[in-house]
Amino acid sequence: MGVSYKTSKVSSFVAALCILAYIGALALGAVQIIVGIGERRNLAEREFYDLADRATSSSVFLGFMSEAYQATIRDFLGASNTLLGVIITGSGGEYAFEKYPGSGIVWTADSPRFKTGIGYPGESFFLPLGIEGQRNVTIQAIYGRIDYAFFQKILRQTLLVILSALIVAFITLLVERTIKIRSNYYKTGSRGINAGDINTDGINTSGSYDDNSVEEEDPKGLFNPRGNIGWDSYTNERLAAELHRSSSFEQDLVFLAVELKGPEKVNDSLYCKFTEEAVNFFTMRDLIFGKGENGIAVILPNIDLDQGISKSEQFRNRLISKVRELSASQGGVPEIELCIGLSSRSGRLIEADRLILEADSALRKAMADPVSHIIAFKSDPEKYREFIKANRN
């Protein structure tokens, strides 16, 4: 009686857990799919506005609906995660672009139209474009509402949880049945063992699955402990976000690459003083990041290149003064020089990698120049167009 009662309690408990696992897996899967659809729409909207910006700026440099202009639209569409088709309407007619043939556009009487109906892409976006020399230019795009790869991933995860629960339930029933058979066998008095001598308290009837076996952790945190500023590896991602925001609001942005020109590696005390002064001066700790062993990188939104140069000069003079005070008070602090390279968005639709490359190039020149310690990279529209074409090919 005691063994049967204990096993029935365990099986009932496991059955309840399995039911909760089924319901939880289905509910979580449904929520993830709904949230994923919403996030995909937001991503599609951001990509659409990026495409509109690209279409407007490319018309200035490449000419509206030139071969290079159309190639730019196709390249953007091919790299998009959500957009499937684009229709640009101008004074010369309608132009249609697809991510791949049949993905979102049909032709009716030589006029492109987006596909509609069950199983077809999601809603479309519409925006008028201000293109020089053209009137009433509009751009429309359609996106895929469902990311089928993500949908399949959620289904696999849900199925895995349900199968795991079924396996646990099966093992529990198997263990319970085995215990009952052994209990009945022992009750017959075989081998002189009494049923009351069987101890089932130590039997593991719930399987060996441990929900706490894997635990994610991030030992790095938000700020680098050496200088209490952002980690070097975060620079690119944050700069890309700030460039996107600046382009959306048609604002400029300056990126600084700053380095102490001195020993092979400055000591931690001096580096902390360096980063502390940077935070006090620029007042934006989350936009200041480490750069190698002796440097920092600074993102300055909503200022132009001339303002960036002025701020760089003020910061350099302030830091050199503070280091001299530190040297006078403590002694033994080596003579250092501060070099700064900077570049700005300057109205360009530019990637974070490119802006960092420009600032680093200016910094290298500043490090090598015995006189000029602050050098700015000034963009050349012709060379920038050549760079874009080279990367496209």
| pLDDT tens sequence across 250-297 | 899 999 999 988 756 778 888 888 899 999 999 889 999 999 888 999
- The whole-angstrom separation of Cα 11 and Cα 265 is 64
Query: What percentage of residues in the chain have a pLDDT greater than 90?
Result: 22
Inter-residue long-range contacts of 358-363, CB under 8 Å, 24+ positions, other chains counted: 358/255, 359/255, 359/256, 359/257, 359/297, 360/257, 362/257, 363/257, 363/258, 363/259, 363/295, 363/339
> Which tens digit of pLDDT belongs to each residue from 198-207?
333 333 333 3
Of 283, 286, 288, give the one whose Cα is nearest residue 298: 288
- pLDDT at position 334 is 58
> Which tens digit of pLDDT belongs to each residue from 295-348?
999 999 999 999 999 999 999 998 888 877 766 665 555 567 889 999 999 888
Q: Which residue has the higher pLDDT, 363 or 22?
A: 363
- pLDDT at position 191 is 36
* Residue 89 in this model has a pLDDT that exceeds 80: yes
Helix axes 268-282, 305-330, angle to 10 degrees: 140
H-type alpha helices, 188-231 = none
> Which tens digit of pLDDT belongs to each residue from 152-179?
777 887 888 788 877 877 787 777 777 6
- pLDDT at position 326 is 67
Residue 198 DSSP label:
-
- The whole-angstrom separation of Cα 371 and Cα 360 is 18
* Residue 4 in this model has a pLDDT that exceeds 80: no
Q: How many CA atoms within 13 Å lie on the side-chain side of 263?
A: 11
* Residue 51 in this model has a pLDDT that exceeds 60: yes
